[in-house]
Amino acid sequence: VFQYVAPAILASVSPLVLAVRSQTGVSISHSPIRIGANVECQFGSSEATYVASIISTTTSTCTLPADLRAGTVFVSVIVDGIRSENVKSLTLVEPVVIEHPSLTKGLLSGGSLLEVTVKGGVESVTGCWFGSTYI
C-alpha cells in the first residue's frame, strides 16, 4: 500500500545567532509530524545528518555540530527519509573573547566606567552581564 507523506515545512529556527563550536541546541518549529517519526537535521551543505529530539508534533531540537564555520548556515529537517520542503537560516559567529577590560576593580555600589574590547561575536552587542545582572 502506497501512502503519500507531505514533506515537513519549517516555520522557524531558534536561536538565530549562535557561537561556532558551541554545540548548542537548535529549536526547529515545523508543520505537524507524527510522534515516533524518524527526524534528522541537516546543517549547511554537508550531507551529514544529526538525530533530532522530538519535543512535540511541531517542534524538534538538534545539537549544532562543532565543525561548522562562522557565517550563514541553512537548516533543514528530514522526516522519515523525506527532506523538508524549505530551509531556514541561522548565523554562526566566533565566540566573544574579552581582550582588554579598562579596569579590574570597581566600587560595589557601581558607578565605575568600564570599557571592554572584545573580539568575535556580532557588532550589535549592547550590554554585559555582571554576575546575574545585565547592563
Convert the pLDDT of each residue in 36-78 to its tens digit. 899 999 999 889 999 999 999 999 999 999 999 999 999 999 9
Contact 75, 13 (CB under 8 A): yes
Residue 31 has a pLDDT of: 96
How much helix, strand and coil, in percent to the nearest 5, is found in the chain? 0, 45, 55
Given 3.90.600.10, 3.30.70.20, 3.30.420.40, 2.60.40.10, which CATH number is that of 10-93? Answer: 2.60.40.10
Q: Shortest CA distance to 94 belongs to which of 126, 65, 120? A: 120
Lowest mean per-residue pLDDT among 1-10, 24-33, 41-50, 60-69: 1-10
Contact 40, 49 (CB under 8 A): yes
What's the rounded Cα separation, in Å, for the pair 112 and 106? 6
Indicate the domain borders of the chain. 10-93
Q: How would you classify residue 93: left for phi > 0, otherwise alpha for psi between -120 and 50, otherwise beta?
A: beta
Bridge partners of 118? 98
